[in-house]
Amino acid sequence: MTLVRFKGANHPQQVAKHGAREDVDARATDPAVFQLFHARFGFTIDVAATSANTKCERFFTKEQNGLALSWANERVWCNPPYSAIGDWVRKAWTEWSSDAPPRLIVMLLPANRTEQAWWQDFVEPFRDGGGDLRVEFIRGRTRFVRSDRRHIGPNERPPFGCCLCIWQRAPFPSDLLVQRTLPAAGGLS
């Protein structure tokens, strides 16, 4: 098989110019999986949420626009709308580089988009190199809760795995490096 003249097509949710689908962008992180992350990182705010899918007591809605508000001094959780990932990763770097940065940013991202500009510009050059950004790939496929449901239904897995991009001042505390992947249980498989 040759790849000459091969043209890959992005899924419509990969970039906003293809048109976001609100029902997909508003999918929530599985509460059981989020609790594992929250126990580990102690989040203070969810910066990309709705009142129906927020994971933290304090959160920014689409109308409040977490891209325009400060994340200073927060322990940030972000499961961004996947139709505009680049904007959110760029915002994380802008906040991280500011005079009043967040204390921590953890972003749940699709792990199959490493060829895209947002990954190549804002993740790949900086990840796992002893700096402030590390990437942890999650075992299996993370399940998400559809916006029209309260619980995870059958076959609620996306066709890709996910990873956590973690901005935290180095050196990383040893207790946060307990496990690099989550076990294949509960909301994962």
pTM here? 0.73
pLDDT tens digits, one per residue of 43-62: 999 998 877 778 889 999 98
Dump pLDDT digits (tens) for 151-183.
555 555 555 678 899 999 865 554 444 444 444
Select the more confidently predicted residue: 22 or 140: 140
Helix (H, G, I), strand (E, B) or coil at 59: strand
Helix, strand, coil share (%) of the chain residues, nearest 5? 20, 20, 60
CATH class of 16-177: alpha beta
Q: How far apart are CA 138 and CA 106, in angstroms?
A: 13
145 phi/psi in degrees, rounded to 5 = -95, 125
Q: Which residue has the higher pLDDT, 53 or 189?
A: 53
Q: Residue 127's closest CA among 109, 143, 152?
A: 109
95 phi and psi, to 5 degrees?
-65, -45
Q: For 123-144, what is the mean pLDDT?
A: 82
Phi/psi at 49 (5° precision): -135, 170
Domain ranges of the chain: 16-177
Spatial distance between the Cα atoms of 56 and 47, rounded to a whole number of angstroms: 9
pLDDT band, residue 130 (cuts 50/70/90): confident
Torsion of CA 46, 51, 52, 54, to 10 degrees: 10
